[in-house]
Structure 1
């Protein structure tokens, strides 16, 4: 009787523990943008790369947590997370996103300035802009899936390009007045497009930016509230602090800023 009871208790414990064991063995699934250089993108050789990509790979390695990091067109990446197929994405924590996601501490902050074509006859007026309200008279360019722009620029005239690369190309061809974004990302896309389409080099080099920072936004790890990995955020934040203190964080940034 005692033996049967021990077997029953053992089987019950095994049943209760199995889901936890399986969860521990399941990698953390992160879906992200394939076209957001230099933060995360697919390079010319088909490899995943970028400041955020390298930082996340390093952090999860130090946490000893298996990571499945896949890149997609941005709208698709967001859909994969919102539908529950992936645990997280890295982006700006807008109010709409925070309905079902929880944000880490900022991984990096982006300063948004106006970007324009130097041949634009409105150049001087564009350079005088020092707050978002002053964007009203201008034709804006942005890209589909940019949640921050969809929430903050909806009162303005916006041409929505299918992706980030297309938005930069439209600005190079003077098809709009302003693309409000981070200068490092614009520069990376200009460089990439010159390599792909050399005949557009002069147009792309005509893209300039103002000095006034209109908005600063954080890029954070956003984990689904119903993800089994929601408890990782505290460890993630601590590991982010540790790589900043060790100097590794800045080394990764410099690798892409200086390329």
Structure 2
């Protein structure tokens, strides 16, 4: 499929700083934002049109083809309606957060991996639409309590409505601080898991035919250390 400056790819996401966010002034930023815009706008000469929705709706829009792309973990369920490139654009390493006076906080500090969370009988708090939690965490038999939003997830933890939140530090720390919960929520040395994030393209989108070109653009950015440069702009080390 030929591409031109008039072509536009529709990307849907939920505000998730510092990965991707719409500011109060209506501008977009974030390390995933910068990567996706470089792949499409600079690599393929395709304008990126962004819309912000609840995460569950974002996934439904990519599934039914009313949106072209989203950036997330390519679970088996998502790959039934989307295609993607070979290697991730971001590896999300998740650590464990708990509330400050948790009676088993010292045990949580030593947890490593989902089997240890399950064997300890801990309840995880997440948000509706988190496919990784639904598939990988609930899927192995760990109890999960869901909030309707990402911010609500942290408020639930502060209110002791579960034991732990499993999240990447660069995503969790700003949200916890912004909500004034830094004195009530503790970052631990416990480890949950890690997952690769990809650009997922709806199988109903015309851009699905360009997945091999998208793959080449991603690898070109990697070879030119563009991921390292973009992550450093947000005070992060390149996790890839």
Shorter-chain TM-score bucket reads: 0.7 to 0.9
User: How far, CA to CA, are the matches of 1:109 and 1:30 in structure 2?
Assistant: 20
User: Which sections of structure 2, spanning at least 5 residues, go unmatched?
Assistant: none
Per-residue CA deviations over 1:54-82 (Å, capped at 9, x if unaligned) read: 11112212221122222211111111111
In 2 relative to 1, CA 131–30 (structure 1 residues): closer, same or farther, beyond 3 Å?
same
Asked if structure 1 preserves the Cα contact closer than 8 Å seen for 2:99 and 2:185, the reply is: yes
Query: Which of 216, 233, 237 is the equivalent residue of 1:255?
Result: 233
* TM-score, reference length from structure 2: 0.86
Asked if structure 2 preserves the Cα contact closer than 8 Å seen for 1:143 and 1:161, the reply is: yes
Which residue of 2 is the match for residue 142 of structure 1?
A: 126
Per-residue CA deviations over 1:68-124 (Å, capped at 9, x if unaligned) read: 222211111111111210112110011111111112231100012211122211101
3-state SS in 1 of match to 2:191: coil
**Does residue 171 in structure 1 map to residue 157 in structure 2?**
yes
Q: Name which one, 1 or 2, has greater alpha-carbon Rg.
A: 1
User: How far, CA to CA, are the matches of 1:161 and 1:44 in structure 2?
Assistant: 24
Asked if structure 2 preserves the Cα contact closer than 8 Å seen for 1:27 and 1:68, the reply is: yes
Offset at residue 257 of structure 1 (A): 2.5
Which residue of 1 is the match for residue 47 of structure 2?
A: 66
**Does residue 214 in structure 1 map to residue 175 in structure 2?**
no
User: How far, CA to CA, are the matches of 2:206 and 2:9 in structure 1?
Assistant: 9
Per-residue CA deviations over 1:166-225 (Å, capped at 9, x if unaligned) read: 1022223333210111111101212332xxxxxxx3x32442333343321011011122
* TM-score, reference length from structure 1: 0.81
Asked if structure 2 preserves the Cα contact closer than 8 Å seen for 1:23 and 1:228, the reply is: no
In 2 relative to 1, CA 205–252 (structure 1 residues): closer, same or farther, beyond 3 Å?
farther
Offset at residue 236 of structure 1 (A): 1.7
Query: Which of 224, 229, 238 is the equivalent residue of 2:207?
Result: 229
User: How far, CA to CA, are the matches of 2:22 and 2:107 in structure 1?
Assistant: 36
3-state SS in 1 of match to 2:97: strand
RMSD: 2.2
User: How far, CA to CA, are the matches of 2:72 and 2:47 in structure 1?
Assistant: 21
Between the two proteins, the alignment pairs up a number of residues equal to 230
Which residue of 2 is the match for residue 84 of structure 1?
A: 65
Q: Give the alignment of 1:100-139 within 5 angstroms.
A: 100-104=81-85, 105-136=87-118, 137-139=121-123
